[in-house]
Amino acid sequence: MSLLEERNQKEEFRYGAQEIQVLEGLEAVRKRPGMYIGSTSVKGLHHLVHEIVDNAVDEALAGFCSRIIVEILPGNVVRVRDNGRGIPVGVHPKMGVPAVTVVFTVLHAGGKFGGQGYKVAGGLHGVGSSVVNALSEWLEVEVFDGSFSYKQRFERGNPVSDLIKTQSSEHRGTLVEFKADSEIFKETTDYDSCILASRLREQAFLNAGLEICFKDLRDGCSSETFKYDGGISSFVEFIHKKRALDVIHEDVIHFSAESEDGSASVEIAMQYNVSYNELLISFANNIHTNDGGTHEEGFKVSLTKVMNSYARSFGFLKESDKNFLGEDVREGLCAIISVKLVSAQFEGQTKARLGNSEIKVLVERTVSEKLKDYLEENPASARSIVEKASASAKAREAAKKARDLVRRKTVMESASLPGALSDCQSKDPRETEIYVVEGESAGGSARGGRDRYFQAILPLRGKMLNVEKARLDKVYGNEKLMPVVTALGCGIGSDLDISKLRYNKIIIMADADVDGSHIRTLLLTFFFRFFRKVIEDGHIFIAKPPLYRITKFKKHRYAFTDEERDAILSEVGGQAEIQRYKGLGEMDPIQLWETTMNPETRVMLKVSLEDATLADEVFTILMGEKVEPRRDFIEQNARYVVNLDI
């Protein structure tokens, strides 16, 4: 008997009809929550709130809701109330139970599949409410139909009471209250009010005149009300004011259009600022499309065509000049694109990317017609915009020449990797890691303490460039940044090819003091602006060296926080000399390996990008030209600082 036949006879290898599982009701959601909300991390937790709020916003889109109240109650209970029509409470003809019960217990049940309830809506899959219900420890819904209120309670997706008529009421709308299930969200069930406020503010911008009230009723109650009659034009103004960015033309360019059959519409607001970065935020049916889609593609293509056509027609580009590229005409651009479609096609339940091909045509045509008119009618603003694009194009050409020079120099030299790099023996990127280390002293200790097989060391020398204040052409030739670019091997900026990344982990290792924090921040700014895909794919880490070494009877213990230090001192008793590490260079190679580089014992922080727009805002404020917004940010967030070295 062959080995395969012998194995097939064993019970554990049998595969028959009994092995096919059928998940009933909302059980599938609880088994695989990531399929429905992306993850069970902090992002997934907040997605629950977004799903319920989106339903209320859909009522506003339909013209029946003018006010939404979102509250975080003590114990991280969420309450969302709107003054829309209220979910229908009548008995569903097919299911035989009230429609509101169906909405919260049946996947793909809703009023957005082509009936008369909604023309345009963000929630198209009919799983939002039922998914939130399935992933909540408990959920209560109360519906007001203008005559009475009706209430029902669910626990982990299952009804524990019938829909009950409670009292007479003249109000209309829906109130949903729920508590996220800690069995699902094991990382945390603690909501971040900043994340929620940012999303709610977006919704108010996207729906001019809609009032959204947000209250955090946990420790130290706070309340904000968002209402913007200027819509997405106010959104652009808010972004520039918040980031203290000077604009190069005074007015926000705003235009909109609708398709001939009324099935789709587009609205765009845009304004250029003095920065070197573009900020393009797109929405489809009020849903933030983080990964873009056809509406963004149409905007980019048409913007480039219009700008080149205008520049040539009015002599800014001569016959011998090359056309502007897309990156040239988008430098310093802040643009909001909002499209609405009857039949939106999103990729995945989390709706990260829009796929409708017809919206690309509508956006292209709208930008082509409306932006052309604006430029011709506003020659002063048009000149400022074209000159900005021209400066960007020149810098891009300079960067290309510098890059080619670096490549030629590399070919002529004996080795293609930077001389300061102590590379690892393994060439398999899946198992290798590189420590980007501040200073030669720490670099020497790291070289001596590392595992040469999979750990590479790159010490940095010289002044670190703040790339927030510089274009790409200034990066090439920079003695501190170019070794990083060369060592990683995947290119930079628009030339980035993540498949060529030479190391799985890129670990920033700097001193545990103010200077070290500054170095980390400058490197993170560099990675965010020119290697964002590397961050998004989870390759960037921050080493966390110990703050203290506690010694007693020649035995050493290490503490990474003040609390750990105090606990160790309490455990070992008196007469211990405590050493406060000021720099990595104070550790010998063995100590650095034991505390900071040994995969079995080290502590590292993984750099993630939950909200690219928020990250962009923080980098602009902290690393930009203006001092005042940086001071305000520090004053507002100083209480959250730990391990401050003074």
Instruction: State whether residue 300 is helix, strand or coil.
Output: helix
Query: What are the CA-CA distances from residue 231 to residues 112, 177, 285, 300, 547 (Å)?
Result: 25, 29, 14, 22, 49
Query: 515 an active-site residue?
Result: yes
Quote the tokens at residue 469: 């204040």
Instruction: State whether residue 454 is helix, strand or coil.
Output: coil
Selecting among 59, 267, 513, 616, the annotated active-site residue is 513
Q: Is there a contact between 208 and 229 (Cβ–Cβ < 8 Å)?
A: yes
Q: What is the dihedral of CA 562, 564, 565, 569, to 10 degrees?
A: 140
Give the residue ranges of DSSP H helices in 430-509: 440-449, 482-488
Selecting among 237, 423, 511, 616, the annotated active-site residue is 511
Selecting among 211, 224, 451, 515, the annotated active-site residue is 515
- Residue 174's Cβ-side half-sphere holds a number of Cα atoms within 13 Å equal to 25
CB proximity list for 362: less than 8 A, separation 6 or greater: 257, 259, 264, 266, 298, 339
Q: What does the H/E/C string look like for 159-182? A: ECCCCEEEEECCCEEEEEEEEECC
Taken in order 519, 522, 527, 528, is the CA torsion positive or negative?
Answer: positive
CA distance 396 to 328: 8
Beta bridge partners of 280: 335
Query: 562 an active-site residue?
Result: no
CA distance 51 to 63: 19
Query: 58 an active-site residue?
Result: no
The residue whose two tokens read 């005074």 is: 250
Query: 229 an active-site residue?
Result: no
Selecting among 438, 468, 611, 617, the annotated active-site residue is 438
Residues belonging to the active site: 438, 511, 513, 515
